Amino acid sequence: MILLADSGSTKTDWVLLRNNETVVSFKTAGMNPYYLKATEGVRMLHDACCNHIEPDLVSRVHFYGAGCLKPTKAALIREIIQEVLPGRQVEVSSDLLAAGRALFGYKKGIVCILGTGASVCTFDGEKIEEYIPSLGYLFGDEGSGAHLGKSFLYRLLRGQLPQPVMVSFQKEIGLSDEEILTHLYNHKNPNRFLASFAPFIATHLHQHEIHNLVVSCFDEFFSNQLMKITNYNQAEIGLVGSVAYHFREILEDVAAKSGLKISNFMLSPMQGLISYHCQPNP
């Protein structure tokens, strides 16, 4: 059987395939090697395998993950998997390759990921070609959930949001300024914490200031990432990820301002990956 994994910084979707059919699917926390310790990853995967599958039935593992573009980072994930599932054939690839295969199959296109983080590359139908470094939530990841959350919290903590938004925030989220700063600077995975405010932002788009904040973040995504791709306006564009999917109407509007049209939105690449791994290479 084939074990497929699609991992972002927040969560990992797992699917066990037998004869091109899904046997079981489950989720774990994200396994981004930039934020994951080997011991933590081994424990997480071991517990997940014990709870959801019979490890002896797994013959191959295809893991696609955020942070796995660099060989050294991919090697860390491979070591974790081989520790839990020794002797299996293991392929570790980037989440960009997963998105490319899911969005375009064996065709060419520009791949964009907008989830907790953000990434852009070109896909030639087989491999990743031109890649724009995302730089992570501190210096980049424009348009991502973390970027939206950071922009929102900055305005919140500076008192730059309208009173109705401030009142709604305290009613629905209930975090004080001190608690927000403590989470950001003293807890693990601040990128996940920042991205956790995206749902609140999505439900308050009717507020003019919130809508403009989102538009500004997506303007930065297009200008700093997508439009840095060579001949960006001559290729099909596909977006995948929770932010891409739930904010797609605004993304389409911002893209149109630059004369661009997005051909496809996907919430998750997993269904596309299942199709890719179940069909013969043309």
Q: Each residue of 102-149: pLDDT tens digit?
A: 999 889 999 999 988 898 999 998 888 888 888 777 887 899 999 999
Is residue 282 predicted with pLDDT exceeding 60?
no
Is pLDDT of 40 > 90?
Answer: no
Q: Is 124 exposed, middle or buried (0-12, 13-18, 19+ CB in 10 A)?
A: middle
pLDDT at 81 over 80: yes
Domains and CATH numbers, the chain: 2-100+270-278 (3.30.420.40)
* Average pLDDT estimate for 21-35: 83
Over pLDDT 70: what percentage of the chain?
A: 99
How many Cα atoms are found within 13 Å in the side-chain-facing hemisphere of 139?
Answer: 3
Encoding tokens for residue 93? 């690839």
Whole-number pLDDT of residue 280: 59
Q: Is the pLDDT of residue 30 over 90?
A: no
Residue with tokens 């990128």: 191
- Confidence check: pLDDT of 51 > 80: no
